[in-house]
Amino acid sequence: MRLLAHVPAWARAGGSAAAAGRVLLLFGGAVVILGALCLGVDGRGLAVLAGMSGAMLGLVGLSLRIRWQRDGWGTLAFPLALLLALCTVGLTTTGIASAFVGLIPLCFVHAGLFHPGRAALALLPAACGAYVAMASTLNGNAVVRLVVYAVTWWGTAQVIALATAYQRDVRRRLRTDARTDVLTSLGNRRDLDERLARAVPGDCVVIADLDHFKRVNDSRGHAAGDLVLERFGHVLDEHLRRRDYAARYGGEEFVLILPRTEPVQAVNMLRALRAEWAEEGTGVTFSAGIAVITDSAPAGSALAAADIALYRAKQAGRDRFRIATEGLSASRRPGADADGPGVRDHSSDRPDLEGRRDQHASC
């Protein structure tokens, strides 16, 4: 696998399995040609080997133009092609083919690295045929050796496939742990940064903050505070749509990314979330600031704008939501609301005003 890191980018087209298959064919062809020259192959045999090498190079070139399906079985064509080439060497040359039997296990190594263990069964008939073609004599001892080799080849693929699957699972779990907040099971700051980098104009960014959370820690203890955070994270995870994203920003702050969402839709979502959160009976409310990613206000700017809107919501009395409607650099226009430029209050403290926009003059 480390060898693939040194393969040119154009040769890695189709993924690691296809790139490793090309390396397998090129390596196998080079070993056969060099070995045949050292063993003193005759002119006819050299012509056959040259033709075989040319065909393998052609297959490598053709593979660059094929759109390989990742994790598909199509890349088994590479080890099968090498086995067919070895079979050709055994049938068209005399006295040298048995020297290249050691290339057969490489085909099963490739299968184990990039395919489930059962894929080795698809290679066994071709591998056995290549061995028979390359064997100098075929007697009882040769048949026993073939059976032993076949079991060994199959076992090699199984061991490598199991080790590879275990490695992938460990890597997946480590990646998940490195990007998950332990307490809330939401994304952490590192995961949030990566998710923000993929956000596009039209996505909504929300910063939610639990109100007076320090009082919970001071009056009930940090264990109670952790429980409140854990339950809020669970309610968030259950309430959001599948395409939405939530992360713990730090302390009692949470960031939501709502793809293709209008600010008013975000407000409605937060109102429903507030109702669900109230049913938890913690006695803790939350405030939120909302901003939209635009071409002129990328994700970082939208996050900062949402943070300012959250601050305004806190100043206005908490347990409410505010939308940043303008860019951070917008100048204050005459007649703008006293909250400052670019912020609108969408609090729903009074049921009779649900769905109406209230502008508060004091902050």
Supply the CATH number for residue 210's domain: 3.30.70.270
> To 5 degrees, how large is the angle CA 69–CA 73–CA 74?
65
Same structural domain, 96 and 28: yes
Same structural domain, 152 and 295: no
CB 78 within 8 A of CB 119: no
- Report residue 4's pLDDT band, with 50, 70 and 90 as the boundaries: low
- The answer to which of 31-45, 49-63, 180-194, 320-334 has the lowest mean pLDDT is 320-334
What is the distance between the alpha carbons of residues 11 and 8, in angstroms, rounded to a whole number?
5
Q: Angle, nearest 10°, between helix axes 104-114 and 140-178?
A: 30
Final residue of a structural domain among 118, 153, 178: 178
pLDDT score of 73: 84
- pLDDT tens string 251-297: 999 999 999 999 999 999 999 999 999 999 999 999 999 999 999 88
| Segments of the chain assigned E as strands | 204-210, 245-250, 253-258, 286-292, 321-324, 343-345
Domain count, the chain: 2
pLDDT for 5 beyond 70:
no
Give 40's DSSP letter.
Answer: T
In a domain, 361, yes or no: no
Same structural domain, 9 and 130: yes
- Report residue 48's pLDDT band, with 50, 70 and 90 as the boundaries: confident
Same structural domain, 55 and 80: yes
In a domain, 341, yes or no: yes
Q: Which residues of 38-53 are buried (b: 16+ CB within 10 A; e: fewer)?
A: eeebeeebeebbeebb
**Domain extent for 337:** 189-353
Quickly count: other Cβ atoms within 10 Å of residue 338's Cβ. Answer: 9
